[in-house]
């Protein structure tokens, strides 16, 4: 059975990113989120701010007083964008699908930066979406907007679990499973734990409910990587099979 065109497009973009990720990872794999913020964050943030200002200007000129169908940010009118701003950003990490199918280390150790950054967009201190920023031909550029639901989920978890500069957190996206996780490192050197984001939560709930008989337990708190490894591996296998 063949995947639908939208899924094929998603999987193709994921495959391309997976191929490019190691190139970036060679230079930055050993850097902590705080070090990445220091080496890449300023330039990526400037690009996000610059790109968003242009996006707002263009949208207001073209759609003032209306909201186009399928608009990527959570506003009721494009005029609302005048009060929105780029807030904080974070690098996107991923794990190679081969490492998920045949783990060579623990989940955290296998995560590598992709070279992509996401920036939260807020209005009146409320998340309304995310900007995606990438380095293209040596220049940081905003490539897309969206993720209104993800921005709310992510911001709530980052506010709750993050330290002052969120250096104890990593956003990990498993493209081939269409699943996102927030890694939370402890201050005492113990193994990091994870908050499954909305995209990953349903699969985790199903897996844990089938084993424990209770979905409510999976909905609260942080989990160990071992608690979602099986469902993640199954999702990656299924999506790679469909892509072929």
Binning the chain into helix, strand and coil, the percentages to the nearest 5 are: 50, 25, 25
Both structure tokens of 75: 């506003």
The phi and psi torsions of 32 (rounded to 5 degrees) equal: -75, 165
Instruction: Give the pLDDT of residue 31.
Output: 74
Local mean pLDDT, 10-residue blocks, the chain (244 residues): 44 48 53 78 96 98 95 97 98 96 94 97 98 97 98 96 94 94 90 91 60 44 91 90 74
- Enumerate the β-bridge partners of residue 146: 130
Instruction: Give the pLDDT of residue 62.
Output: 96
pTM of the model: 0.82
Instruction: Give the pLDDT of residue 29.
Output: 60
Contact (CB, 8 A) for 142 and 47 = yes
180, with CB counted inside 10 A (0-12, 13-18, 19+), is buried
């Amino acid at each position: 059975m063949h995947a639908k065109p939208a899924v094929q497009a998603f999987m193709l973009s994921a495959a391309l990113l997976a191929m490019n990720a190691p190139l970036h990872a060679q230079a930055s794999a050993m850097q902590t989120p705080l070090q990445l913020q220091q080496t890449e964050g300023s330039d990526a943030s400037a690009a996000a701010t610059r790109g968003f200002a242009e996006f707002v200007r263009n949208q207001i000129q073209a759609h003032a007083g209306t909201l186009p169908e399928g608009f990527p940010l959570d506003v009721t009118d494009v005029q609302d964008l005048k009060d929105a701003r780029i807030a904080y950003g974070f690098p996107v990490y991923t794990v190679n699908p081969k490492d998920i199918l045949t783990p060579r280390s623990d989940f955290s150790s296998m995560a590598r930066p992709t070279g992509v950054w996401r920036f939260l967009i807020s209005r009146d201190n409320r998340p309304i979406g995310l900007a995606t920023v990438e380095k293209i031909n040596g220049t940081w550029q905003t490539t897309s907007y969206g993720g209104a639901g993800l921005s709310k989920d992510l911001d709530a978890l980052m506010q709750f679990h993050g330290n002052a500069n969120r250096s104890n957190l990593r956003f990990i996206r498993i493209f081939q499973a269409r699943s996102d996780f927030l890694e939370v490192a402890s201050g005492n050197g113990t193994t990091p734990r994870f908050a499954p984001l909305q995209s990953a939560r349903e699969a985790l709930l199903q897996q844990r409910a089938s084993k424990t008989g209770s979905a409510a337990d999976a909905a609260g708190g942080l989990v160990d990587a071992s608690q979602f490894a099986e469902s993640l591996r199954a999702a990656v296998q299924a999506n790679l099979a469909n892509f072929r």
